[in-house]
Amino acid sequence: MTATIPAAALHSPVIAWFEAHARDLPWRRPEAGPWGVMVSEFMLQQTPVNRVLPVYEQWLARWPRPADLAADAPGEAVRAWGRLGYPRRALRLHGAAAAITERHGGDVPREHAQLLALPGIGEYTAAAVASFAYGQRHAVLDTNVRRVFARTATGVEYPPNATTAAERRLARALLPEDEDTAARWAAASMELGALVCTARTPDCGSCPVASLCAWRLAGKPAHEGPPRRGQTYAGTDRQVRGKLLAVLREAVGAVPRSVLDTVWDEPVQRARALDGLVSDGLVEPLAGQMYRLPAGPAPAAGQAPEAESGIPLYSGKPQLTGTVTQPMGVRAPTEG
């Protein structure tokens, strides 16, 4: 890419487009602060903006600082997560809040290495928070950015299913040297992928770098790589887990196993889903076949780092006025 198109030729038009078209979202505003950015980053992974907005606002109204969340039970984080999907993110965010409170006096750390050391934080989220909250120079690679770079730079319709070393090298090569400009570029390229260079229906007529796009100039060749992975939900263990969690979220206290048994007819799958929730730290078993959302610290399995396979899809940028949403037309799961 950089051998045929100078990176600097992309920066100005994409950033100018972003300044004119960036959406006004709460985590992009200065008052959101680093904690608001971090919360949005956790919520926007695998979940579209329109579903995140009400939960995000309720979350920050209840827990405006990491210490507020850390002081509450992890089960309350799972309850407040609602049906955003993949509720282990709630446990990981709770674990990160506890670590921020213990190690950093309740302030989200500025340094990338310190962010990366927090439980539940992977390379993507550390780079996103450092860039979007603190205006630092980092390559922030989510699915939307990877798609923009794949088309504009390498002339293919879609990036690989998992992030590659070559993509990381390309992202670093495209990163502006100036720190402020780099942070704006990260936000702008992400928003471009979310709104214009979408997965299914790219709007090349609205793209500020259409005249430079290698994929467009090549005649938009069809994808020749492995089939794009879709997400199934109906009938899966994720659906059963979601139904079980919905009962527990609505309950004031512990719930008997007999009540949980009514949510799904197939007993083997139902038991497997419940066992998985317990193993993940999302459900706490009690004596007498009773279950509740966790009241104590989540086990280590519930605080595993995020997947670093291109899965983190969305990001927030308060001061930078730019974030990303799920590719249009992709249905977000309601459990995971």
Q: 23-79 pLDDT, tens per residue? A: 999 999 999 999 999 999 999 998 999 999 999 999 999 999 999 999 999 999 999
Q: What is the reported pTM?
A: 0.86
109: tokens are: 């750390």
For residue 152, give the DSSP letter: I
Predicted confidence (pLDDT) at residue 298 exceeds the cutoff of 60? no
Check 41, 76, 306, 335 and give the catalytic one: 41
23: tokens are: 């959406």
Which pLDDT value is given to residue 46? 87
Distance CA 307, CA 89 (A): 11
> Which residues neighbour 9 within 8 Å (Cβ) at sequence distance 6 or greater?
209, 212
- What are the CA-CA distances from residue 156 to residues 95, 141, 229, 289 (Å)? 39, 17, 17, 54
Distance CA 196, CA 13 (A): 14
Would residue 41 show up in a list of annotated catalytic residues for this protein?
A: yes
Strand pairing report for 255-256 and 284-286: unpaired
In 204-320, the DSSP E strands lie at 255-256, 284-286, 290-292
pLDDT, tens digit, for every residue of 136-190?
Answer: 999 999 999 999 999 999 999 999 999 999 999 999 999 999 999 999 999 999 9
Distance CA 300, CA 312 (A): 21
Mean pLDDT along residues 108-132: 97
Question: Which residue's structure tokens are 């959101």?
Answer: 32
pLDDT, tens digit, for every residue of 221-272?
Answer: 999 887 776 678 889 999 999 999 999 999 999 999 999 999 999 999 999 9
Predicted confidence (pLDDT) at residue 282 exceeds the cutoff of 80? yes
Q: Above pLDDT 90, what percent of the chain?
A: 82
Distance CA 140, CA 310 (A): 11
Question: Which residue's structure tokens are 């471009």?
Answer: 192
Q: What is the mean pLDDT of the chain?
A: 88
Distance CA 168, CA 75 (A): 36
Q: How many residues does the chain have?
A: 336
One-letter identity of residue 326? Q
pLDDT category, 6, cuts 50, 70, 90? confident
For residue 262, give the DSSP letter: T
19 phi and psi angles, rounded to 5 deg = -60, -35
